[in-house]
Structure 1
Amino acid sequence: MSKRKIGRYTRRTLGRLLAGLSLAACLTSPAFAQDAGTIRILISQSPWLNSFVSLVDQYQKDTGTKFQLDVTPFGGMVDKMRNSVRAQQGSYDIININAQGLAEMYAGGFLRPLKEIDSSFSLPEGVLDFGGSAHWNASKSSFDPKGELLGVPTNGNVLVLYYRSDLYRQAGLKVPQTWDDLLANAKKLHNPPKTYGFVSRGTRESILFDFSPVLFSHGGSFFADPETGDFSVTLNSPQGLQALETFIKLNKEVGAGNAGALEQAELIQLLSTGKAAQGTAVIAAVADLQDPNKSIVTDTIETALLPAGPGGKHASVAGHWMAGIPKNVPEANQKAALKFLKWFLQKDTQVAYTQAGGIPIRKDLSDTALAGDPAYRFIKAFSENADVAKMNTPLKEGVRMKEVISLYLNRALIGEISAKDALNGAATEMNQILTAAGYKLTPPKML
């Protein structure tokens, strides 16, 4: 099926499905809340919505199961989740949770462990768990592949490297294996204002996400050992300093000149208009970059594994979505919800999901019909980056940690403070917040 046909199909499907449902009005109906034949889903109004709806429509046709989707802007998702999971009876049988809010939902004990619904269930081989984030260890308050299975991935989103294959070919360049290689390539391609060598996001809203892979690949970390419950702050380490200096150097020497203010929409525009030779962005951006109505580099924009640090370690960062099944809904609803999620994870289903414009949650699609289609050439890079993706703030105070770290990183990027002072300042505040919250920590060592 062509991408044009898929686009028409998903728009038609979305209109038909949502038009027949009166959305939030039905969600407040007591009769509807008790109907196990209808699966009620909270989902973000995001680029992957149409592809998800296309699968819902297919499942509805195949099984007769009805669905009620509460499509909500990203900013309103958390409040709706918090209200629903704390109610005597929840409004949703499936809640889609962004990576940043997973720890809060898991740690709060709001979700039903999936093996309690079906003791034989586990994530099938080939399904990504994005840094162990499908499982939670309550005793350690951390994600742990050996902990309870609480989530099912519904949309994969990781950071990848985008580069212009035509410019690389003209300059005789190879895909960079290290950050030093990337900088060297960028210097050869940097010709402002016509072409910028490298772009990444640097605003206080986004800088933490884009900086995290650089930190991880340099052997740095935010916390000592989250998997064992040790959240002692380690951001201000020599490895962390080297990573931040590398990140600043890339953005200052070969960037667009406004790194501290560059957000996702502007970054994608720089890539899609040919103004940027390469950059880091989420894999979800590939849809716009390969759309001839939005991009002039559709055939030459390529994706790759993010570069490695000095020790040869590659890393990416997880920005995915997980589906959870709340405890406070009837068991019949829970069983129906898990049955749908099991179907959603199947390989054939994920191929259809990708063809409809979604980002898959499996890493084993290279032997499917997608492999020979140039429109899905991003699958290899997605799988490679997803396989090394990590959670950057894997604790229930993650949102607060993001605010603190991002402020200091942004100040360092725009030159307001030094990289060393930024890391020391962030580490000090992080330690104060977590200590006040009751964590047993080893104080961070100042650089």
Structure 2
Amino acid sequence: MSRNNSRRSRARSLLALGAGTCLALTATACGDSGTGAGGEGDGKGKIVFWDNNGGVRTEVWKKIIAEFEKENPDIDVEYVGIPIADVQSKYDTAIQGGDDSLPDVGMVGTAYLANMVAQGALEPVTDRIEDSPLKGKLVKGMTDSVEAAGGEDGELFTVPTSANQGVLWYRTDLFERAGLEPPTSWENFYRAAEELTDKKKNRFGFTIRGGAGSIAQALEMMYAQSGIDSFWKGGRTTVNDPRNVEALEKYAGLYDEVTPKADLNNDFTKMVATFDGGEVGMLQHNLGSYTDHVKAFGEERIDGLPLPPSAEGAPRTMVSNPVDGLGLFKSSENKAAAWKFIEFAASAEMNSLWNESAGAIPAHTDAADDAWINEAGPTKAAMESLDDPDTRIVQLPYYLPDWNGISKADTEPNFQKLLLGQMSAKEFADDLAKRLNEAQAEWSEQKG
């Protein structure tokens, strides 16, 4: 089967599942769709909660559950930890297994939210948020991303709890020694990348991600520089807009000029290790590597900033990062108790506790004043930029069934060709745009 036919098959299967057509995601016989109406219940009894990063986040969730059960002695929460690599397939299998297979509450990321919405598994929570203490207390950038990822305008299918964000990390000691201004503008960034490079001494201004995961970071750098604030215009992607092509050309041009040659095959672990090795001035990566940098250099020699705006005085433009959230399952027979748990876990105190443990950005705005946020400057800056009404968030199309395939296996080899000069920035962007436009057109057609 050709690649395009394979994509069309996957897209049709997903949308048919959402419409209730009896198609199995596994080799098992077709079961219920997992879209039963459930019920509110009496707000007491047992609920089941699935953690989408079991093992890694189990300890902090057990603390949150213990505090919840102390305040709500009539509710018992059963914790189920699902390894992050298995969570999407676990949800899909449970949806096909029928209502009894699904939890009452589960952590759901925007990367696979559309899949679950299409299958009718999640209860909309927009109205519940409006009638709860969470109203007006959730970071705008995160709610916008959850709404966009769900694929239904004006509707939230999870309560956002945390997000990551791209950060421009830089060595403050190297900048000070060279008399350079922090990379708060693109002019400062490119100047520093050049001036901090001394190939004879194996010193480089920047390290680029050329291997697995390279496309998401390239998109971040492109849109931040171009200032284009929407991924689609007139039903077609803006990826190959001339301003994005120009930004991509500048970004890719850093390779082997101000970066190590070995960056060509770097995934995020190798890229972070290269930066933390001590001979690189700047790195673009998310908040998840903050503790690695502090361990390598100490807090006084490292800092991180949101990517600069496209020009002085322009609004900051960022692509959306995956947002984690708490989903209420439509099949739950005890939604009242389940919602109590969601409200509690998403409250300022518990949301802050969870995000401090994870090193992520809290979704509850009141957490911004907590001590750990103020002590973690890059995290505070990221949270403020996400909640800034002037910030423009470019919503990546996580809702497309083919998004992961296009942005990874289909396009990463081309990015390496671009770095090696075997493909132009325009050729790269046009090829990516063609794949995205086809996927969007098919998704729109199947959606009806």
Q: What per-residue deviation string (whole Å, max 9, x for no partner) do you get for residues 265-321 of structure 1?
A: 11222233323221111112112322x4xx244431111121222473423331331
Contact kept, 8 Å, 1:93 with 1:337, in 2: the verdict is yes
Secondary structure at the residue paired with 2:207? coil
Q: Aligned AA for 2:65?
A: V
The alpha-carbon deviation at position 211 of structure 1 amounts to 1.6
Secondary structure at the residue paired with 1:37? strand
The alpha-carbon deviation at position 358 of structure 1 amounts to 3.9
Residue 332 of structure 2 is aligned to residue 329 of structure 1: yes
Q: Judging changes above 3 Å, is the alpha-carbon distance between structure 1 residues 366 and 116 closer, same or farther for their aligned structure 2 residues?
A: closer
Regions of 4+ moved over 6 Å: none
Q: Judging changes above 3 Å, is the alpha-carbon distance between structure 1 residues 150 and 436 closer, same or farther for their aligned structure 2 residues?
A: closer
Q: What per-residue deviation string (whole Å, max 9, x for no partner) do you get for residues 65-115 of structure 1?
A: 433333233321111111223332142222322332122223443210115
Secondary structure at the residue paired with 1:434? helix
Task: Provide the rounded CA distance (Å) in 2 between the counterparts of 1:276 and 1:52.
Answer: 37
The answer for unaligned runs of 5 or more in structure 2 is 1-40
Partner residue of 2:304?
303
1:112 to 115, 123, 127: 123
Secondary structure at the residue paired with 1:56? helix
Q: Judging changes above 3 Å, is the alpha-carbon distance between structure 1 residues 116 and 402 closer, same or farther for their aligned structure 2 residues?
A: same
State how 1:36-435 maps to structure 2 within 5 Å. Answer: 36-45=45-54, 48=57, 50-64=59-73, 65-89=75-99, 90-115=101-126, 120-121=131-132, 123-128=134-139, 129-130=141-142, 132-135=144-147, 141=151, 144=153, 147-192=154-199, 194-203=202-211, 205-217=212-224, 218-220=226-228, 223-225=231-233, 231-290=235-294, 292=295, 295-310=296-311, 312-317=314-319, 318-330=321-333, 332=334, 334-359=335-360, 360-370=362-372, 373=375, 376-387=376-387, 388=391, 389-397=393-401, 398-403=403-408, 404-435=410-441
The alpha-carbon deviation at position 421 of structure 1 amounts to 0.9
Contact kept, 8 Å, 1:221 with 1:240, in 2: the verdict is no
Q: Judging changes above 3 Å, is the alpha-carbon distance between structure 1 residues 297 and 215 closer, same or farther for their aligned structure 2 residues?
A: same
The alpha-carbon deviation at position 126 of structure 1 amounts to 4.1
Q: Judging changes above 3 Å, is the alpha-carbon distance between structure 1 residues 260 and 49 closer, same or farther for their aligned structure 2 residues?
A: farther
Secondary structure at the residue paired with 1:343? helix
Q: Judging changes above 3 Å, is the alpha-carbon distance between structure 1 residues 297 and 272 closer, same or farther for their aligned structure 2 residues?
A: farther
Task: Provide the rounded CA distance (Å) in 2 between the counterparts of 1:126 and 1:410.
Answer: 42
The alpha-carbon deviation at position 55 of structure 1 amounts to 2.5
Partner residue of 2:19?
none
Contact kept, 8 Å, 1:161 with 1:281, in 2: the verdict is yes
Contact kept, 8 Å, 1:222 with 1:235, in 2: the verdict is no
Task: Provide the rounded CA distance (Å) in 2 between the counterparts of 1:346 and 1:420.
Answer: 46
The alpha-carbon deviation at position 119 of structure 1 amounts to 6.3
Secondary structure at the residue paired with 2:210? coil
Q: Aligned AA for 2:91?
A: M
Secondary structure at the residue paired with 1:273? helix
Q: Aligned AA for 1:302?
A: D
Contact kept, 8 Å, 1:160 with 1:385, in 2: the verdict is no
Aligned-residue CA RMSD (Å): 3.0
Partner residue of 1:23?
none
Q: Normalising by structure 2, report the TM-score.
A: 0.77
Contact kept, 8 Å, 1:39 with 1:336, in 2: the verdict is no
Contact kept, 8 Å, 2:216 with 2:407, in 1: the verdict is no
Q: Relative to structure 2, which stretch is displaced further, 257-266 or 67-76?
A: 67-76
Contact kept, 8 Å, 1:202 with 1:262, in 2: the verdict is yes
The alpha-carbon deviation at position 210 of structure 1 amounts to 0.8
Secondary structure at the residue paired with 2:325? strand
Contact kept, 8 Å, 1:270 with 1:276, in 2: the verdict is yes
Contact kept, 8 Å, 1:259 with 1:414, in 2: the verdict is no
Q: Judging changes above 3 Å, is the alpha-carbon distance between structure 1 residues 350 and 258 closer, same or farther for their aligned structure 2 residues?
A: same
Q: What per-residue deviation string (whole Å, max 9, x for no partner) do you get for residues 350-384 of structure 1?
A: 333344344222455443333554xx233322214
Secondary structure at the residue paired with 1:38? strand
Secondary structure at the residue paired with 1:258? helix
Q: Aligned AA for 1:420?
A: K
Secondary structure at the residue paired with 1:41? strand
Task: Provide the rounded CA distance (Å) in 2 between the counterparts of 1:185 and 1:98.
Answer: 36
Partner residue of 1:12?
none
The alpha-carbon deviation at position 250 of structure 1 amounts to 2.9
The answer for unaligned runs of 5 or more in structure 1 is 1-33, 441-447
Q: Aligned AA for 1:337?
A: A
Q: Normalising by structure 1, report the TM-score.
A: 0.77
Contact kept, 8 Å, 1:41 with 1:67, in 2: the verdict is no
Task: Provide the rounded CA distance (Å) in 1 between the counterparts of 2:414 and 2:158.
Answer: 32
Secondary structure at the residue paired with 1:302? strand
Task: Provide the rounded CA distance (Å) in 2 between the counterparts of 1:118 and 1:152.
Answer: 8
Contact kept, 8 Å, 2:374 with 2:380, in 1: the verdict is no
Q: Judging changes above 3 Å, is the alpha-carbon distance between structure 1 residues 233 and 367 closer, same or farther for their aligned structure 2 residues?
A: closer
Secondary structure at the residue paired with 2:269? helix
Contact kept, 8 Å, 1:259 with 1:413, in 2: the verdict is no
Contact kept, 8 Å, 2:103 with 2:332, in 1: the verdict is yes
Q: Aligned AA for 2:196?
A: L
Contact kept, 8 Å, 1:113 with 1:149, in 2: the verdict is yes
Q: What per-residue deviation string (whole Å, max 9, x for no partner) do you get for residues 173-209 of structure 1?
A: 2222322321111212223454321123232x31122
Secondary structure at the residue paired with 2:220? helix
Q: Relative to structure 2, which stretch is displaced further, 390-399 or 119-128?
A: 119-128
Task: Provide the rounded CA distance (Å) in 2 between the counterparts of 1:242 and 1:137.
Answer: 28
Matched pairs, number: 390
Contact kept, 8 Å, 2:344 with 2:350, in 1: the verdict is yes
